[in-house]
Amino acid sequence: MKNRIKLSFLVLLFGIPGFAQVGIGTTDPQETLHISGNSSTIRVEGLNSENHDKNLGGSSKYNVMVDSEGNLTLGDSSGELNSASSIAAPVTVQTTANSGLNSAELYKTNFTLTQKAIVVITYYISMDFKSYDGTATIDDGRAKIAHNYFYLGNGTTANTSKAYGMTSSVYSNMNCDTATGYVYNSRSTTITLEPGTYSVHLNGAVFGGDIVPEAAFSVKFGDLDRLDIDAIYL
């Protein structure tokens, strides 16, 4: 009897590796593990809402990710990373003294991706056009241009080799000081990014045609502003 137990143990120990493929619901497995059937499913209790903090339960579905070692886990849920006013105080940007192009960074906001994602960055920002010293309403009839765009950075420093989300507004006014309200720039940009920490550096630029000193002006950016960052994890 003792010898029979030993023999059975050896068969189990050395015989299992001989099964190259295992079939569930099929007698002809085509892969190492082949689960057959139109409604076949797999349950991994380590990924359920009781055992995994990224599974929030309910009727929602969650992405299962695989790492370089073949380990399965749940990915982060897609959604909003930022939705707030990002400029602490309005920033005034003047043209050069002869109305040439000038620019300045208005704010920097950081965000972190835990996995590869499609990122949608949307901003809007108010602009108030005034004379060069900011004390008078513009009434010279010349076209005034204000640009907004942003750079991506590493959380600290902007990569200025590529600008995103460029948009512009043209303002002019002739012999009239009764117009009220803000002019707005807004833009939405979609970018695919790898995991990591990034920063959005929004810039404002002004240009009066580089004509004469009398055409110089200023723009106050950001009495009202909004920045939304949404991630769609892949």
| The CATH fold of domain 79-233 | Jelly Rolls (2.60.120)
Name the pLDDT band for 24 (thresholds 50, 70, 90). confident
pLDDT in tens, 146-199: 999 999 999 999 999 999 999 999 998 887 655 567 899 999 999 999 999 999
Calpha distance 40→140 (Å, rounded): 74
Calpha distance 110→201 (Å, rounded): 9
DSSP count for the chain of H helices, then E strands: 1, 13
105 backbone dihedrals φ, ψ, rounded to 5°? -75, 130
pLDDT in tens, 79-136: 778 888 989 899 999 999 999 999 999 999 999 998 899 999 999 999 999 999 999 8
Q: Is 63 exposed, middle or buried (0-12, 13-18, 19+ CB in 10 A)?
A: middle
Q: Which residue type occupies 106?
A: L
Domain ranges in the chain with CATH number 2.60.120.760: 79-233
Q: If you average pLDDT over residues 20-31, what whole number do you get?
A: 82
Name the pLDDT band for 11 (thresholds 50, 70, 90). very low
Model pLDDT, residue 233 = 85
Q: Which residue type occupies 109?
A: T
